[in-house]
Amino acid sequence: MKSALSAAYPAARFRRFKKMPATRALVRENTLSVDDLIWPVFLCDGENVEQPVVSMPGVVRHSVDRVVEAAKQAYDLGIPAICLFPYTDPSLKTADCAEAWNPENLSNRATRAIKKAVPDLAIMTDVALDPYNINGHDGFVVDGEILNDETVEALVKQTLSQAEAGADIIGPSDMMDGRIRAMREALENEGHTNVMIMSYAAKYASGFYGPFRDAVGAAGALKGDKSTYQMDPANSNEALRLVARDLSEGADMVMVKPGMPYLDICRLVKDQFGAPTFAYQVSGEYAMLNAAGQNGWLDLDKVMMESLLAFKRAGCDGILTYFAPKAAKVLAKL
């Protein structure tokens, strides 16, 4: 992009724009709105339960009845979508991960309940085996190896189970090769032609996921790491190749994860493809900002809004963020 020509000082005084709120607003290049937010929420079994996630201050796991209330809150705040992540009872975790496509699993029950209560709120669901896997990985593990093709077959079953429960957006977070094509073909063949896929296309093997793994109960189960299928943080060209592949296989939207440390990737993806591009402001990012805010080291509201605006400046069309309700309330006052 060519930079705009500018006269020399004093003919050009950039402080003129900054004189008052009205003129600053006139030349503002990027704007954050509630329409840009997706709220990730955690699920747990039980009734009338809200379990605090210790490593994520202000975040709780909701039982199905309580997540319906949270969904109503999101809708009333103008948040267009929520994303569901289940905390699976350890007794239901197995090597074959069969609970992942159980029509009555926690995620599917929550989807149906929310759709009944708040039909116009979009529901995004997570497609990956780690919440159901006794090994804590996103794929089947055999002799220490995460199997790709066998995992994709299981992910297709999970995808169809979630679509049949009423999910609007499928979010494959597994990073297996070929899963987008397989999911899209299955959705088309089973009549779920309007179900969208937001691919975690550029998901890095990051240290910023720790609190999330606590929230879904995968941290203790995980054996080894995920570097054989998630991206190397040193790579950027690979991200473009992965996005290109997933779009060609039928992804409607793509995601970069984590968020703030990878804003350069967000910009590269948006500039290269022009496709709907999202970022996930992950649990570690949320936890850091909250900890600094609680200690009085940062103004939490200010850095929260600044961080979210940074995603827009980097080219993102939307952001998955645990700050969504809090940010929506701040935006409502502007």
* 257: annotated active-site residue: yes
The DSSP bridge partners found for residue 108 are: none
Contact assessment for residue 123 and residue 81, using Cβ atoms and an 8 Å cutoff: yes
**Could you tell me which of 177, 151, 159 has the C-alpha nearest to residue 229?**
177
* Secondary structure (H, E, C), the chain: CCCCCCCCCCCCCHHHHHHCHHHHHHCCCCCCCHHHEEEEEEECCCCCCEEECCCCCCCEEECHHHHHHHHHHHHHHCCCEEEEEECCCHHHCECCCHHHHCCCCHHHHHHHHHHHHCCCCEEEEEECCCCCECCCCCCCEECCEECCHHHHHHHHHHHHHHHHHCCCEEEECCCCCCHHHHHHHHHHHCCCCCCEEEEEEEEECCHHHHHHHHHHCCCCCCCCCCCCCCECCCCCHHHHHHHHHHHHHCCCEEEEECCHHHHHHHHHHHHHHCCCEEEEECHHHHHHHHHHHHCCCCCHHHHHHHHHHHHHHCCCCEEEECCHHHHHHHHHHC
Contact assessment for residue 156 and residue 186, using Cβ atoms and an 8 Å cutoff: yes
Q: Choose, from 93, 257, 270, 312, the residue flagged as catalytic.
A: 257
Task: Give the span between the Cα atoms of 153 and 50, in whole angstroms.
Answer: 34
* 326: annotated active-site residue: no
Q: Choose, from 115, 203, 226, 270, the residue flagged as catalytic.
A: 203
What the block records as the tokens of 32 is: 């954050």
* Upper half-sphere CA count for residue 71 (Cβ side, 13 Å): 28
Residues noted as catalytic: 203, 257
